[in-house]
């Protein structure tokens, strides 16, 4: 493990059980993106905790296998409902959604540990904007419950 080593080690220290996704789950996620490749940091996430954690980490947020396959569609629907001119492309992968009113995604062509972008119906005028420089940073900041995570990154 290259990208999530520090976070997974912290989970083990904190005795947080992690449920990996299955090989079949991984195959289904890869089918969603057809000929594109998932970033390695995200694959590590799926392989270590893709079916959730027995903890408050990301609890109540849509990001694990039980909802993951519907998130791109959910993001597109949210944009349509809000009548914004923004569109998700086949290069955008929605991996996190909360309350049906905000979502995060990364671009499949921005490296093995890509930046994370955010949209919220409460911040429509800002469009999509970057909130973290890497997917790993997103997870670490969610774990420490960083309340400033959804602010625009310059």
pLDDT 10s digit of each residue in the chain, 154 long? 899 999 999 999 999 999 999 999 999 999 999 889 999 999 999 999 999 998 889 988 999 999 999 999 999 999 999 988 899 999 999 999 998 899 999 999 999 999 999 999 877 666 899 999 999 999 999 999 999 999 887 6
Spatial neighbors of 17 by CB under 8 A, at least 6 apart, are 53, 54, 55
Q: What are the residue ranges of helices labelled H in 34-127?
A: 40-49, 65-68, 71-81
Residue 54 forms part of a structural domain: yes
* Residues of the domain holding 84: 5-143
> Which tokens hold the place of 91?
């290069």
CATH code of the domain containing 51: 3.40.1580.10
Does 74 map to a domain? yes
Residue 11 lies in a domain: yes
């Amino acid at each position: 493990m290259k990208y999530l080593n520090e976070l997974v080690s912290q989970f083990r220290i904190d005795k947080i059980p992690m449920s990996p996704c299955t090989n079949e789950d991984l195959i289904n996620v890869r089918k969603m993106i057809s000929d594109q490749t998932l970033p390695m940091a995200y694959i590590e996430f799926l392989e270590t905790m893709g079916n959730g954690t027995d903890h408050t980490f990301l609890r109540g947020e849509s990001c694990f296998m039980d909802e993951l396959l519907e998130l791109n569609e959910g993001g597109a629907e949210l944009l349509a409902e809000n009548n914004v001119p923004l569109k998700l492309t086949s290069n955008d992968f929605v991996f996190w959604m909360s309350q049906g009113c905000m979502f995060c995604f990364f671009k499949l062509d921005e490296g093995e540990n890509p930046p994370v972008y955010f949209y919220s119906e409460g911040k429509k005028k800002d469009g999509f904007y970057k909130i973290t420089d890497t997917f790993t940073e997103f997870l670490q900041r969610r774990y420490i419950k960083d309340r400033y995570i959804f602010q625009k990154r310059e």
